Amino acid sequence: MSSSPRQTPLHQVHEALGATFTEFAGWRMPLRYSGDTAEHNAVRNSAGLFDLTHMGEIRISGPQAAEALDYALVANASAIKPGRARYTMICDEAGGVLDDLIVYRLDEQEFLVVANAANAAVVSAELAERVGGFDAEHQDVSDDYALIAVQGPNAVAILAPLTDTDLDEVKYYAGYRSRVAGKDVLLARTGYTGEDGFELFTAPGDAEAVWQALTESGARHDLRPAGLSCRDTLRLEAGMPLYGNELSADLTPYHANLGRVVKLDKPGDFVGKAALAVAAEKPTERTLVGLTTEQRRAPRHGYRVLDADGAEIGVVTSGAPSPTLGHPIGMAYVDRDHSEPGTQLQVDIRGRNVAVQVVELPFYRREA
């Protein structure tokens, strides 16, 4: 008998806002409020407010916390300075990606690893095992946090009146203990939308107060609550991978053109190093590319990619109409000899071959 999905501390707030919900990774999460396109455009042009409490958080602490994460992850955790964060991955011995992560170094002996909701339990278990041989402590602290994100060009203007932290001094991929609306938070300049913004890790009991304070501050800055649906189109436009689509245990970071996150030159061994060293020297048969089409129908996850003669040469991993660009876009793994930007291909969309063109990723890049 399956258990009921978990609810975030903001569930009643979402209900009052008229959210449509979906079950995702064991959680009942807001899918949309006013509408996917309106929420997407708000993040691109003003700001959106997200509840991301379903993400997993694992604390690694102790005298050898950095060395433990150097072994457990592909990143050089020892090189992360306190107050900074890094995008990385946890791989298996064969080099396959178990999850992509953000690691925050809170101080010399304390790190917070943030995992995707669907993989949180796997990541926590893997980290517990991998740090076991070090003078370091593993704690799954997911239940200690709610996570709220404010994303978009107006994010600084919305957040600034609620904190004494000088936001101009908070660099991209930084995270500091701070106070927002009188509540203790970990304030991070990170996100998954392609826009500037912040992610606020709060105590569950403080989440509603922080959400309401952001809502009130954002009223004059066109802030909208935003659901998981528009988060997906935002990250797709920004060319950001989604685990289960662009990333999986069957693929290495090199397949997704993310070999830069693998630090083969860091001191010592790490899980998957031997396999990843081989992968780094051998081009993958298929590689991740962007696809665009002027047709109305969008390529979708799992659709076949074909060459000009109709032979199958790849598969779509993500796709949707792009509200920002005004036409459908997608990401796909295709044979390397069909991956050059400008290459004309086709996608089998429910039995009809639709013309697409290979383009460089990302589809969208915000102005500095």
Average pLDDT over every residue of 38-49: 98
pTM: 0.97
β-strand partners of 22: 29
For the domain covering 6-53+145-237, report its CATH number: 3.30.1360.120
Q: In the chain, where are the structural domains located?
A: 6-53+145-237, 56-126, 285-368
CATH homologous superfamily, domain 285-368: Aminomethyltransferase beta-barrel domains (2.40.30.110)
56-126 belongs to CATH 3.30.70.1400: yes
How buried is 205 (Cβ within 10 angstroms: 0-12 exposed, 13-18 middle, 19+ buried)?
A: exposed
Average confidence score pLDDT of the chain: 97
pLDDT in tens, 306-334: 999 999 999 999 999 999 999 999 999 99
* Nearest residue to 239 (alpha-carbon basis) of 330, 325, 157, 160: 330
pLDDT in tens, 132-163: 999 999 999 999 999 999 999 999 999 999 99
Residue 1's pLDDT is 47
Q: For residue 2, what pLDDT band results from cuts at 50, 70 and 90?
A: low
Q: For residue 233, what pLDDT band results from cuts at 50, 70 and 90?
A: very high
- pLDDT of 368 strictly over 90: no
* Cβ(187)–Cβ(202) below 8 Å: no
Tokens representing 141 are 């602290």
Q: For residue 367, what pLDDT band results from cuts at 50, 70 and 90?
A: confident
